């Protein structure tokens, strides 16, 4: 019984640790890949647990690789990161708005943009990270 419990709990614990940020394309790709892989693995193995787990693992790895490639492609659009990385904006206290880290520190609308994404401040045309 404990072996069966381990088989089910271990993959979820590992996935939780590895995929702690599903707001990024890498995390989203891994989650989508794991779901699709689990379904395909289940169907291919005739409903077996082992096939489902193998399919989920293979799908998560493939999805993460594809998501990472998409994330890197998007980053190239912004050019190389500055020394020390991009600054992070501050929450304004108003939903969907952050305070730009660049003077004159105006409010920037970030609704619909995932946490940790790069955002362009339209007033100074510079990039910052959404908190």
* Cα separation values, 88 from 58, 101, 130, Å: 34, 7, 6
Relative to beta strand 126-129, strand 118-121 is: antiparallel
Nearest to 64 by CA among 25, 35, 36: 25
Q: What is the pLDDT of residue 64?
A: 80
- What SS3 state is found at 19? coil
Q: Is the peptide bond before 104 cis (omega within 30 degrees of 0)?
A: yes
Q: For each of the chain's 131 residues, which pLDDT tens digit applies? A: 455 655 665 566 566 555 555 566 777 777 777 777 878 888 888 877 888 888 888 888 887 888 777 777 776 776 677 788 889 999 999 999 999 999 999 999 999 998 888 899 999 999 999 99
């Amino acid at each position: 019984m404990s072996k069966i419990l381990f088989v089910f709990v271990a993959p979820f614990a590992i996935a939780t640790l590895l995929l702690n940020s599903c707001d990024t394309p890498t995390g989203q790709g891994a989650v989508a890949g794991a779901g699709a892989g689990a379904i395909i693995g289940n169907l291919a193995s005739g409903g077996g647990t082992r096939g489902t787990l193998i399919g989920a693992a293979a799908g998560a790895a493939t999805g993460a690789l594809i998501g990472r490639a998409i994330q890197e492609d998007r980053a190239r659009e912004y050019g190389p990161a500055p020394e020390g990385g991009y600054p992070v904006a501050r929450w304004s206290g108003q939903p969907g708005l952050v305070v730009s880290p660049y003077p004159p520190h105006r409010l920037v609308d970030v609704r619909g943009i995932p946490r940790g994404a790069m955002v362009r401040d339209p007033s100074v045309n510079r990039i910052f990270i959404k908190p």
